[in-house]
Amino acid sequence: MKYYFKEYEKGYQLLKKKNKSIWAELFSEEFSFDKFDMLSFMEQALPLISIKNKHKRALEYGCGTGAGAYYLEQNGFIVDAIDISPTAIELAKEIANQRESKVNYILGDVCNSSLKNINYDLIVDNYCLQGIVTDDDRKRLFSFIHSNLSSIGYYLIGSVIFKEDRVYEDCYFDEESGKCYVEIIDKLNEYEDKIQINNKYYIPERKHPKPENLKLEVGKC
C-alpha cells in the first residue's frame, strides 16, 4: 500500500471518533454530508450532461463516506463508489443503511483496481486526484478511466490545482510538475519516490498542476 494512503485512514478514524460525516468537515464546519465541497459544481454540471441510457451508471472514486455517491444516486444514477480507506467505506455503508441508499461501496485502490470494461456513463473525482501523486499511480488511474468510461461518457474532476498565491509553508513545491514534497527523516528505504535536495530527502505528498497541464495529462489517456 502506498505511503500516502495512511494519512487518509488516520483521518477517517479521527472523523469517526469525532462523529463527523465527511472528510472536509475535519477542516471546516461549513461542510456536511449534504453540503459537500463539490456540490455546487455537481449542481451546475449534471444538468449539462446528456445520457440517453435508461439505466445510467456512475462511479465515484475516492468516495470517502459517500456524500457525492449518494448525491449521484439521488439524481438517478446506479452508483459504484470506491475508496482506499477501510474506515471510510465502513462509515459510507453505515450512512447508506440509514438513508436506504443502494450505492455499491467497494474497498480498494483505484490505481490498482480489477474493475474492467464497465462502461460507466459518468466517472467522478470528488477531490481525490490531488492526493494521487506518483507518475505511475496517475498513469494507472487514467488508464483505469480509459478502460471503464463509455466512449460517450463523462469524466468530472473536482481537484485542488495550482494557485499563484498558495503558500507552501512546510513543503517544497515544484512548479514544473505541480508536486508538493515533504521532508522525510526516517524509514528512507520505504519510499521509492523520494528525491534528494541538499542532502535532505523528500516525498511527493500532493499534486497541484496548472489547469493546462492537467488537461494535457487527462487528454493523453
Contacts to ligand SAM by CB under 6 A: 8, 22-24, 36-37, 61-64, 67-68, 82-85, 88, 109-111, 126-128, 131-132
- Grid cell, residue 92, equals 459510507
- Minimum CB distance to ligand SAM smaller for 24 or for 58: 24
CB of 34 to ligand SAM, least distance (A): 12
Contact 202, 181 (CB under 8 A): yes
CA of 52: how far to CAs of 27, 56, 71, 77, in Å? 39, 8, 20, 12
At 14, is the secondary structure helix, strand, or coil?
helix
Nearest distance, CB of residue 62 and ligand SAM, angstroms: 3
Specify the residue, 51 or 85, whose C-beta has the smaller distance to ligand SAM.
85
Q: CB nearer to ligand SAM: give 36 or 77.
A: 36
Shortest Å distance, C-beta 178 to ligand SAM? 17
Taking the complex as a whole, the smallest distance from the CB of residue 160 to ligand SAM amounts, in Å, to: 9
- In the complex, least distance from residue 11 CB atom to ligand SAM, rounded to whole angstroms: 8
For residue 102, the SS3 value is: coil
Judged by beta carbon, residue 166 or residue 200, the one nearer ligand SAM is 166
List Cβ<8 Å contacts ≥24 apart for 165-172: 166/208, 171/205, 171/206, 172/197, 172/202
Return the number of the residue (160 or 184) whose C-beta is nearest ligand SAM.
160
Shortest spacing between CB 200 and ligand SAM, in angstroms: 26
CA dihedral 99, 104, 107, 109 (to 10 degrees): -120
Q: State which residue, 136 or 190, has the beta carbon closest to ligand SAM.
A: 136
> Residue 57 in contact with residue 118, Cβ under 8 Å?
yes
CA angle 17, 63, 10 (to 5 degrees): 35
Nearest Cα to 57, choosing from 34, 38, 74, 73? 73
